[in-house]
């Protein structure tokens, strides 16, 4: 069985890729980073873009964990949500890709 591979270029669209393809690839990479699905993920882009992705994915995971433990209306969850929102805005600003998880 062939292992699934996802390639995500954060830097620029090319002639073979649409914004919808990038969003789909980003969603797959997030599933991989959050431990939902396992496959080979290849991420390219500027270092600042890759850092922004890593920070936003970590903030997403932290928010999910804190919400499960304390509930979504807890002070810890609200603080985590603010951090998540800031990291998502930073990612979107640096890559021009909308964050796929709402």
pLDDT, average across residues 20-39: 82
d(CA 26, CA 43): 9
Q: Is 35 left (phi over 0), alpha (psi -120 to 50) or beta?
A: left
pLDDT at residue 1 greater than cutoff 60: no
3-state SS, residue 34: coil
Mean pLDDT for all residues in the chain = 88
Least confident of 38-52, 61-75, 78-92: 38-52
Quick: pLDDT tens for 49-76. Answer: 999 999 999 999 999 999 999 999 999 9
pTM of the model: 0.83
Comparing CA positions, the residue from 74, 3, 1, 86 lying closest to residue 39 is 3
């Amino acid at each position: 069985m062939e292992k699934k591979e996802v390639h995500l270029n954060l830097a620029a669209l090319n002639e073979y890729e649409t914004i919808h393809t990038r969003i789909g690839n980003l969603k797959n990479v997030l599933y991989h980073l959050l431990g939902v699905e396992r496959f080979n993920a290849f991420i390219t882009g500027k270092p600042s873009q890759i850092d922004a992705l890593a920070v936003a994915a970590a903030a997403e995971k932290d928010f999910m964990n804190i919400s499960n433990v304390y509930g979504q209306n807890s002070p810890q969850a609200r603080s985590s949500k603010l951090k998540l929102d800031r990291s998502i805005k930073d990612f979107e600003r640096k890559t021009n890709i909308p964050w796929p998880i709402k």
